[in-house]
Amino acid sequence: MNYLEELNDAQREAVVNSDGPTLIIAGPGSGKTRVLTYRIAHLLKNGADPFGILALTFTNKASEAMRSRIEKISGSNARSLYMGTFHSVFARILRVEAPRLGFPSNFTIYDAEDSKSLLKTIIKEQGLDDKIYKPNLVYNRISSAKNALITPQAYATDGELLTEDRNARRPALGKLYQIYCERCFKSGAMDFDDLLLHTHTILEKFPDALYKYQHKFRYVLIDEFQDTNTLQYAIVRRIADVFQNITVVGDDAQSIYAFRGATIDNILNFEKDFPELKVYKLEQNYRSTQNIVKAANELIHRNRNQLKKEIWTDNSKGEDIRIVRTPSDNEEGRWVADSIQELKMREHYKNNDFAILYRTNAQSRAFEEALRRFNIPYKIYGGMSFYQRKEVKDLLSYMKLTVNHNDEEALKRVINYPARGIGQTTLDKISIVATNEGRRMWDVLENIFIYDFPSRTKNAIEEFVMMVKSFAALQLKMTAYDLAAHIGKTTKLIAELYNDKTVEGISRYENIQELLNSIKEFVEDDEVLEPISSEDAAGLANDKTLGSFLQTVTLLTGDEKVTENIDCVKMMTIHSAKGLEFKAVYVVGLEENLFPGAQSLYSMEDLEEERRLFYVAITRAEERLFLTYANTRYKFGQLNYCEASRFLQEVPENVVSYHGDLKKPKIQQKSEPVSSFLKIVAKPAFKPTVSNPSVSSNSEISNEPFIPDDANTLQTGMDVLHEKFGEGKVVSIEGNGANKIASIFFSAYGVKKIMLKFAKVKILTGGN
């Protein structure tokens, strides 16, 4: 096959000029993988030794796909390539070289769970508090140190790191790092980071090994170069130093993994290390419409630290990008589900043509619930369903046990979480006693003092039983939200998650807060979704108990299981979406302090990474792109007014349209320097300046608190203002006394049935 004929001019140039240091800047949808694949195939076609080619990727899937395509062009010698992920290739090298460092050739490789288990043992042996020295946190600290080329010895003498540890009340982190490495060495084991660090050490300490691999690998090629960290680049730079036939392919505009240790400086400063560098730019986009490409270009050009390029496409102009604002995060979920249903009917899209992209996993809940109501199958990509996440199930289990003490699955899940000295052996013994006596486990727990258990265990069980009973006694005195928050606080489950400041720990804490937010919405929701009688509506509206909420959740999460081969909507974080493409993409939650996140407002580098993340999100779309945000969102149990993301202001006006009568969002904080942001962030509270979609385009939400009028004075024909839905007109009022229900028509949301006793409305004009 003549593979060169399949390439455009820029791609062909990047493929055939295979000698010397080369940077291939590949924009989204520009055929990056094809160019890298064909460049390797071209080397083989022109006589390069396959054993002398080192090709590094970030996923096994990518390397396997590339090897398969290379083999179709150049034959079976593609099987001899040194191609794979950084970790797999360097593990292969270490099987030969590890004895130089005192490791056996058949060393064990620890995965993350193995490493954390070892750290847990060391922390316990050192007599340290595992609530302060959490294994997950210590593991991440050690991993970051290794990837920054900081050995235990260097860590122990680094004043800045030691000061950070002391300020965090973890002065023993350096010692734990040292002991951990000693234990791994003693066990003949390496973790994933060691595969990189020990390879680097061998190249540093043993000149003959460095000479060997520098002359073995005449060609070095790296995919997704913008995602490399300091350690990865240090290794390949050394290996490529003799022949300097190093090719790196990537896009600085898609560098979004700083939290994993990746550094954009590797690609931005590549030319400083290789002055003879040849640069090829792949700027033609084959994926997206002209409108989407134009929006992406204008957005990313605002970043200061970048390699300049101008993406273009021969594709059609396409539909306008739609910016959509909804009254609440729940309404955002409903709007997205409704829009998907509409496109399926009108344009005959399939479910798997759609992707919903969000900044954090916690945001998935509202969209999951909305899709279920529409019976639209979906899959959480790179994660799991919101209600299946461990921390969510933990708190839900406490709630279930509160409502039903005999729920043994819930009991077994939480009886020792957070740890209270009731281990698995004790639990197994309780289960055996219950089975032998034909009793429930809870019955045994209630009467624990008549059984043969250690006194310490009996006391711990009694405290647990009394705690759960205290929760149960509050069911009729507290709303579901107040009781759930009380449970989370009293069990110390929320504190346990809050104190874990790792990336994973923060995500888990956000998920718990989102669960509490959903309960708060359940309690405060004053609308009746189904057209039922006023008597039934009154009963539903009054039942804001924990049991009622749990029933709602159970009905939502009962039997929806999606497998890979089912046509389904994909839901994922934007980080998980990198490298994927979909006909229609919904980028949701575009609000200040969510996207960009509040933590990114304190440095230009972090803010620019957030903008690159938005760039990645919008360039996943082929045909249609929707950008949505909510006017209100629950956070920590409080209804917060949200401000449109500054990134929406950066989307060019001539490629967008707005949902309903919403006009261009008015955003105070455009892309200004960080110093001006800090004044805004420092304010105790801020109010939105965007107009309500249900209100005329010239009106703005007042900075004054929303104080509703007495809803009992409502009459048919009145014009009212609702806190969430904007302006509306009272169509009818039915029912008597405390059970009165008003049917109110809102131009953007149709008729809503609202119980007067819960209604939050201001009266604008008189009625009949």
Residues belonging to the active site: 32-33, 223-224, 254, 620
Token pair 């919008």 is at which residue?
Answer: 618
Token pair 């990134």 is at which residue?
Answer: 647
CA distances from 591 to 38, 611, 640, 662, 694 (A): 42, 13, 11, 16, 19
- Cα 441 to chain centroid distance, Å, stands at 38
- Whole-angstrom Cα distance, residue 26 to residue 281? 6
Structure tokens at 212: 């060997």
- Cα 504 to chain centroid distance, Å, stands at 10
Contact 624, 339 (CB under 8 A): no
Contact 360, 610 (CB under 8 A): no
Give the chain's radius of gyration (CA, Å): 30
Check residue 658 and give left, alpha or beta (phi > 0: left; psi -120 to 50: alpha).
Answer: beta
How many Cα neighbours within 13 Å face the side chain of 431?
12
Structure tokens at 703: 């900075």
Peptide bond into 596 cis (omega under 30): yes
* Greatest extent of the chain over all pairs of C-alpha atoms, in Å: 95
Please name the residues in contact with 682: beta carbons below 8 A apart, sequence gap of 6 or more: none
708 burial type by CB count under 10 A (0-12 exposed, 13-18 middle, 19+ buried): middle
DSSP letter at 309 equals: -
214 burial type by CB count under 10 A (0-12 exposed, 13-18 middle, 19+ buried): middle
User: How do beta strands 22-26 and 278-282 pair?
Assistant: parallel
- Whole-angstrom Cα distance, residue 227 to residue 264? 7
Residue in 704, 691, 702, 584 with CA at minimum distance from that of residue 644: 691
Check residue 154 and give left, alpha or beta (phi > 0: left; psi -120 to 50: alpha).
Answer: alpha
Token pair 């639209």 is at which residue?
Answer: 376
